[in-house]
């Protein structure tokens, strides 16, 4: 199993799109809200170099864009 972390912001419509897909498909990963904990936002920027959500961290490698994240889930989960 890969080490997965999902960085998101509750108000972000693209984050909601991914989370709805995850809910419908019973996909559970570590969820990191960048607004609830400033450390999560700091880590997000340090890891990927940009302040952009949604971001799925896959074994230490960032993946952005909701459609790309959903495609990764379809192909790997």
Its pTM stands at 0.96
Mean pLDDT across the stretch 9-17?
97
pLDDT at 8: 98
CA dist list (Å): 62 to 11, 27, 45, 52, 76:
21, 18, 11, 11, 15
Domains of the chain: 4-64 (3.40.30.10)
pLDDT digits (tens, 9 = 90+) for 18-56: 999 999 999 999 999 999 999 999 999 999 999 999 999
Q: Does pLDDT of 1 surpass 80?
A: no
pLDDT digits (tens, 9 = 90+) for 53-71: 999 999 999 999 999 999 9
């Amino acid at each position: 199993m890969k080490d997965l972390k999902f960085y998101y912001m509750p108000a972000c419509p693209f984050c909601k799109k991914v989370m709805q897909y995850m809910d419908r498909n019973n996909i559970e990963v570590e969820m990191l809200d960048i607004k609830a904990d400033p450390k999560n936002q700091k880590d997000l920027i340090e890891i990927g170099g940009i302040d952009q959500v949604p971001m799925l961290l896959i074994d230490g490698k960032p993946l952005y864009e909701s459609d790309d994240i959903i495609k990764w889930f379809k192909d790997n989960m």
